[in-house]
Chain A
Amino acid sequence: MTIFQRFWVFIIGLIMVILALSFITNPDENSYLWVILFLFLGLAIKGVKDIIFYFTMARHMAGGKLILVQGVIVLDFAFLTGSLSDVPKIYVLLYLIAVHAFSGVVEILRAMEARRTVSGPWKLKFSHGIVNFILALSCFVFIRQTSTALIIYSIGLLYSGLMHMGSAFRKTTYVMIN
């Protein structure tokens, strides 16, 4: 990473941490809406990126239409998430359980595969998976608490922010080009 990239990654991480801490310390109705907004934005950006990727690159690829379908589905999912601000919070919790549990299982499986097949670095990925799994479990255990969704999301955000900040200092080797 260049110094600029390190700086940018660190700043993004810092913003995530600040947001997470502000949500945890001042949980109110508006914070919940912010969470929904971030989820909506994240998915919408991913969906739009996929659609742009299809029209700029993947349309030339054998089977590239799948990328378009994926982009449309993710974008649709983003709109669904955006509409959750009008529905009971329990649905948001169910949504968070599904997202975190799925991510956790995938991360743990990938960590195990990396360890088993190429003796690759697996501990960081494994810990990601465990954290995701714990978050999913917490959503399930505290499903009746109204502020659970907000706190769980904030913890996830805090963890991601710290990981981002840490990765800004990660050692990387590359050829500096003129």
Chain B
Amino acid sequence: MQEDFHYYATYCAAYIAGYSHEESLDIAYSAQFVDVCSRTLLAKIKGPSDAATTQLQLELMDARTDRVGLQDITRIWSSFHFLPRDLNAVREKCTKGYRNKYRLICGPNGELVKKTVDLAKDKPVQSVGIAMHVLADTWAHANFAGTPSLVINNTNYLFYELFPEGDGYREQQIRFRHSTSVPDDLENSIYTNSLYQSSENSIMNLGHGRAGHLPDYSFVRYRYLPAWGEYEEIIKDNPRDYINAFTQMIHAMKCIRGVKGPFETETYDMEAIEPWLDRIKGIIGKRQILASDDWKAFGEELSGQSIEDFEIDRYFNEYTSVLKERKDDTFIGKFILGALAHKGMVINEIFKTGNKLAGVVKQNSVTGKTAEDEQQEDVAEQSSVTGKTAEDELKEEAAEQ
């Protein structure tokens, strides 16, 4: 998914779920920030590199694919962009090495999605944004794994775009090219993908690189042969999946806000979008590379407020200008804590199944606690001592000044 969905559509979903305009903007900003918070960015603002939620192309080109390097890549991409659907998936007559990779295949409605949403409950809006990014990507990035793997993520020439026609579909074979400087040709179904590399752990075989940007386009329907599917084709219906993602986000955020009971998978708040269903379907189904303008217009109509465009450095100054001990109370500081907590949870869950592809959770060398434990304790401490959240304290401090 791209900025159109992670920022503008997430804003719309948050607003429909009952958040205020300001809260919805913060959730949308955090959701989109997941796609830009690289080690390079964190180094620039002097943030902890462990909190990286993505890797730049150049970082990936420089990344080693030895055991340690692969664990690092897998931690980032499996946690934030390709959340595994079933960490205990059964695959008979295969080696443990293959099974471990197979179990990292991303998909919606897995146990980890529930854990992700539950983790964001009673947390700052930054954690909600992170959870919404992860949830939405389980729909778009389904059937690919967040670890470099030829045997899981490869695709071949059997790739057809489906155009609704009558009761069925007209098919057109998709042609792939490898030039990232040329935009995808939607008219002629010519898309850019990564080069075929026969090396299992090549960076080219990470995620949906071999399928190009097709999973990121809400309008597209296609059928293809996944490397792992034992020669069974998959039909990917993005318009349907994006509607599911949108309505599941609304349901999840209502649960996080406490308006609904505990978050359950396979639940979509279709009722909430009933008044705008055709409008939303129209945006999702429109053939365009980026649907930002349409989502933005829809969001502004919903709230009656202007939605400012995503600016990567909106909160940098706040983070870099405060003392070290106050950084956790800033917008970026809360995002970093949320990212560390989420990453720790996912790595821990993967490790608990005996799968070491993502390594183990980094323990605090002094306290022996995981980042997730520490964040929970921080929140508990704030409410038990002062009865105020860090955000309240910041506001009070600003008012005093």
A interface residues, Cβ below 8 angstroms from B = 1-2, 5, 53, 56-58, 60-64, 67, 70, 113-114, 116-118, 120-121, 172-178
**Is there an interface contact between B97 and A117, defined as CB atoms closer than 8 Å?**
no
**Given that A175-B49, A177-B71 are contacting pairs, would A61 and B154 also be in contact in the complex, using a CB cutoff of 8 Å?**
yes
Does any Cβ of A come within 8 Å of B156's Cβ?
yes
Q: Do the beta carbons of B151 and A61 come within 8 Å of each other?
A: yes
* 8 Å CB contact of A121 from B61, B94, B178, B180: B61
User: Which stretch of B164-172, B220-228, B258-266, B320-328 is in the interface?
Assistant: B220-228
B200 to chain A, nearest CB (A): 6
- Residues of B within 8 Å of A116, CB to CB, are 181
> Contact: A58 with B39, CB < 8 Å?
no
In the complex, B57 has a CB within 8 A of chain A = yes
Report A-chain residues with C-beta under 8 Å of the C-beta of B66.
Answer: 1, 5
Chain B residues within an 8 Å CB radius of A177: 68, 71, 359-360, 362
* B71 contacts A60, C-beta separation under 8 Å: no
Beta-carbon contact of B39 and A60 below 8 Å? no
Q: CA–CA, A56 to B99, complex, Å?
A: 10
Give the distance in Å from the alpha carbon of A2 to the alpha carbon of B220 in the complex. 43
Which bracket fits the contact residues of B? 35 or more
The CA of A118 and the CA of B180, in the complex, are separated in Å by 8
State which of B91, B151, B359 has its C-beta within 8 Å of the C-beta of A64: B151
B61, A114: Cβ atoms under 8 Å? yes
Contact present for A60 and B230 (CB under 8 Å): yes
B62 interfacial contact with A, CB 8 Å: yes
Q: CB distance A60 to B180 under 8 Å? A: no
Chain B interface helix/strand/loop/mixed: loop
Does B57 contact A2, Cβ atoms closer than 8 Å? no
What would 16 more interface pairs be, CB under 8 Å, given A62-B231, A120-B58, A174-B72?
A: A56-B98, A58-B200, A62-B226, A62-B227, A63-B156, A67-B198, A117-B179, A118-B61, A118-B180, A173-B49, A175-B50, A175-B71, A177-B68, A177-B360, A178-B363, A178-B365
In the complex, what residues of A have CB within 8 A of residue B97's CB? Answer: 56-57
What A residues does B365 contact at CB under 8 A?
Answer: 178
Q: Does chain A have a CB within 8 A of B95?
A: yes
The reply to whether the CB of B69 lies closer than 8 angstroms to some CB of chain A is yes
A-B contact pairs, 27 of them (CB 8 A): A1-B66, A5-B66, A56-B95, A57-B95, A57-B97, A57-B151, A57-B200, A60-B228, A62-B154, A62-B226, A62-B229, A62-B230, A117-B179, A117-B180, A118-B57, A118-B58, A118-B61, A121-B62, A173-B39, A173-B49, A174-B64, A174-B69, A174-B72, A175-B72, A175-B75, A177-B71, A178-B360
B150 within 8 Å of A by Cβ?
yes
Q: Which residues of A contact B49 (CB under 8 A)?
A: 173, 175
Contact A178 B57 (CB under 8 A): no
* Measured CA separation A100–B100 after assembly (Å): 38
Q: How far is B225's CA from A70's CA once the two chains are assembled, in angstroms?
A: 21
B96 nearest in chain A by CB position: A56
* Most central of A5, A58, A116, A175 by chain B CB within 10 Å: A175
Interface centre among B61, B75, B97 (most CB of A within 10 A): B61
Contact B64 A172 (CB under 8 A): yes
* A residues near B360, Cβ cutoff 8 Å: 177-178
Query: Inside 8 A of A1's CB, which chain B residues have their CB?
Result: 64, 66, 68
Question: Judging by beta carbons under 8 Å apart, are A60 and B151 in contact?
Answer: yes
Chain A nearest CB from B254 CB (Å) reads 35
**Which residues on A sit within 8 Å (CB–CB) of B200?**
53, 57-58
Q: Hey, which chain A residues are within 8 Å of B98, CB to CB?
A: 56-57, 60
Which of B62, B226, B362 is within 8 Å of A175, CB to CB? B362
**CB closest residue in chain B, given A120:** B61
9 tightest Cβ-Cβ pairs between the two chains A and B: A61-B151, A177-B359, A117-B180, A61-B227, A57-B151, A56-B95, A174-B72, A57-B98, A118-B57
Q: Name, among A117, A121, A173, the residue most crowded by chain B CB atoms within 10 Å (CB to CB).
A: A173
Output the nearest chain B residue to A172 by Cβ-Cβ distance.
Answer: B64
Least CB distance from A112 to B in Å reads 12
Distance, CA A140 to CA B163, complexed state (A): 55
Interface flags for B26-67 (1: CB within 8 Å of A; 0: not) read 000000000000010000000001100000011001101010
